[in-house]
Amino acid sequence: MPITLKELADFCDAQIEGGNPSILIDTAADITSAQTGQVTQLTNSKYTRYLKESKASACFIAHDFAVDTIPDDIALLRCTDPEMAFINAVGLLHPAKTYGQHIAPQAVLGANVSVDESVYIGAFAVIGDNVSIGEGSVVLAGAYIGNNVKIGKRCRIYPYAVVYDNVIMGDNVIIHSGAIIGADGFGYKFRNHVHVKVPQVGNVVIADNVEIGANTCIDRGALGSTTIGAGSKIDNLVQVGHNNQVGKNVIMCGLTGVSGSCTIGDYAILAGSSGIADHVNIGQGAVVMARSGVAGDIAAGTQVFGSPAKDKRTAYKEQVAISKLPELLKTVKQLEEKIQALEKQGKDEN
């Protein structure tokens, strides 16, 4: 759905600098590849050189971002926040797929299901007993929703996501394909030479605006709830064990694991492939860097790296020191010899 440059600028609250306001823009693209009819963005001076050779028709750019000569055909779209303006433009030019009211004849609905009349339920979806689904929510093909699940408004459950019994989720929650919400936590007691299963009878509670990536697992509480706070975003293939209490606006990147009974503070960031041992508290806004393993509490606002994880500055110092270690071994060997010589010399003199 192409729109004029003028319409785009108005929609995104930007001022046109150069170019022709009536040309048509049909799609958005990265600055390295944008072509005629496309809008792009420039927010990092590292990429300024791409603009100079670009065939894009328009480029969002901050009011004070300096550029020299640029092709005549590019209109700059000056604005205060080009990243957000570009997000809005992408949303406008590439509208998300929408789903109207529909309950597929191949879906199976349990007893006492309360589904808002606007809800979409795809083929082969299975909805258990006593489930409620709020206004505008979409349950795509083959998604499995267990008994007593509450799904808020405008949620989207992708194909083959599995939501076990008793899970509660707020509004605007997105659950990607293959995510498993509410499977049993991993709890056993070792007795008489075997691992006895500890019943896992709690649930998972997901607040508003949470997004959960493909094939991510969030286990139910053993007793009580595993909770994910509002606005938290969880990437693909993440393991969140039982009874973790994840705060608001937390970021967890791919292949990260959080054992169990941890508290993850608001705004914390767990970078890719990081891991948290059980019963650990991660303070508000703390950052666990990629591939780090955390076994003890992390204070708010700190950044840690390594396995075992340490304060980032300490870890970096140690990394630098390790790179000097092979040389240090040689140096110390030489010092030993020199000292031996000095000692011998001392003895010879006496």
Query: Restricting to residues 65-124, which ones interact with a second copy according to CB under 8 A?
Result: 81, 83-84, 87, 90-91, 94, 96-97, 104, 106, 108, 122-124
Q: Minimum Å distance from CB 67 to a second copy?
A: 21
* Total of residues contacting a second copy (CB under 8 A): 107
Catalytic residue among 63, 193, 242, 279: 242
Which listed residue (28, 58, 77, 167) binds a second copy by CB under 8 A?
A: 28
Give 52 or 197: the residue with its C-beta nearer to a second copy: 197
Q: Minimum Å distance from CB 87 to a second copy?
A: 6
Which stretches of 12-105 are DSSP H helices?
48-52, 82-93
Strand order in the sheet with 156-157: 102-103, 120-121, 138-139, 156-157, 174-175, 211-212, 233-234, 251-252, 269-270, 287-288, 303-305, 310-311
| Residues numbered 173-202 forming contacts with a second copy, rule: CB under 8 A | 174, 176-178, 180, 183-184, 186, 188-189, 191, 193-199, 201
346 counts as binding a second copy under rule CB under 8 A: yes
300 counts as binding a second copy under rule CB under 8 A: no
Does residue 282 sit in helix, strand or coil? strand
Strands 188-191 and 194-197: antiparallel
CA distances from 249 to 29, 213, 252, 257, 268 (A): 28, 15, 10, 17, 8
In sequence order, the 6+-apart residues with CB closer than 8 A to the CB of 318 are: 306, 310
Return the range that interacts with a second copy (CB under 8 A); candidates 14-22, 111-119, 206-214, 296-304.
206-214
**Residue 21, preceding peptide bond in cis (omega within 30° of 0):** no
Which amino acid, residue 87?
A: I
d(CA 119, CA 100): 7
Partners of residue 206 on adjacent β-strands: 169, 228
Asked if 192 and 230 touch (Cβ cutoff 8 Å), the reply is: no
| Residues numbered 207-266 forming contacts with a second copy, rule: CB under 8 A | 209, 211, 213-215, 217, 219, 223-224, 231, 233, 235-237, 239, 241, 243, 249, 251, 253-255, 257, 259
d(CA 212, CA 23): 39
Q: Is 242 a catalytic residue?
A: yes
Give 20 or 314: the residue with its C-beta nearer to a second copy: 314
149 counts as binding a second copy under rule CB under 8 A: no
321 counts as binding a second copy under rule CB under 8 A: yes
304 counts as binding a second copy under rule CB under 8 A: no
132 counts as binding a second copy under rule CB under 8 A: no
Among all residues, which ones are annotated catalytic?
A: 242
